[in-house]
Amino acid sequence: FDAVSAICGLCARASFEGQAPMRLEGVASRGDAGSYPFSLSEEGGQITVHWEEMIRGIVADARRHLPAGILSRRFHDTLASATLAAVSRLAGTTGARHVVLSPRRSQGGRRMCLGVPAKILEINDGAAVVELGGVRREISVMLVDDVSVGGWVIVHAGFAIEKLSEEEAQQTLSLFREIADATEIH
């Protein structure tokens, strides 16, 4: 939400928690504005939504100077479509008919959390020193099995939450750079 709000020129720097998502939701146009492409993959019974195409679509629309309200509506509709697609696929493979969605809801509606790829430089008793964009930070690696020096993890709120390949890390970091570049168009 924060990244999309910045791309739309609504909130590049937030002054309080939830400011960027609130601005994004507040300008969303009414009615059908379409949605952005996304893709799903499934491995080991886990569905992953790939957002790269959506982000590229938002950046392209912002560069065409479409109103932020349209970009916001398309973004929100894409989130709803991706959720429905993932749940439908899981229902088809598991037979489940009831779904519980989490994370918590914020005042303005839905909420997403950002995980950032980081390279592990050192490991010491459940903690690790990682590099995040040239900055070293100590994080907990207690939630992820079999981490190793030189490996990559996704870091959220001071915790490694998942391992990933160097290729996945570089793709994600490249997408972050595209987002940063796109925020300079306004």
Asked if residue 63 and residue 99 are part of one domain, the reply reads yes
The model's pLDDT over 4-52, given as tens digits with 9 standing for 90+, comes to: 988 888 888 887 777 888 888 888 888 778 899 999 998 877 788 899 9
Decide if 145 is inside a domain: yes
The CA distance from 20 to 69, in Å, is 14
The model's pLDDT over 163-174, given as tens digits with 9 standing for 90+, comes to: 989 998 888 888
Inform me whether the pLDDT recorded for 75 exceeds 90.
yes
Q: Compute CA distances 139 → 120, 126, 145, 163, whole Å.
A: 10, 9, 14, 14
Domain of 30 in residue numbering reads as 2-110
The model's pLDDT over 137-154, given as tens digits with 9 standing for 90+, comes to: 898 898 888 999 999 998
Among 90, 110, 130, residue at a domain's last position: 110
Identify the pLDDT of residue 28: 84
Asked if residue 89 and residue 125 are part of one domain, the reply reads no
Decide if 54 is inside a domain: yes
Decide if 186 is inside a domain: no
Question: How many independent structural domains does the chain possess?
Answer: 2
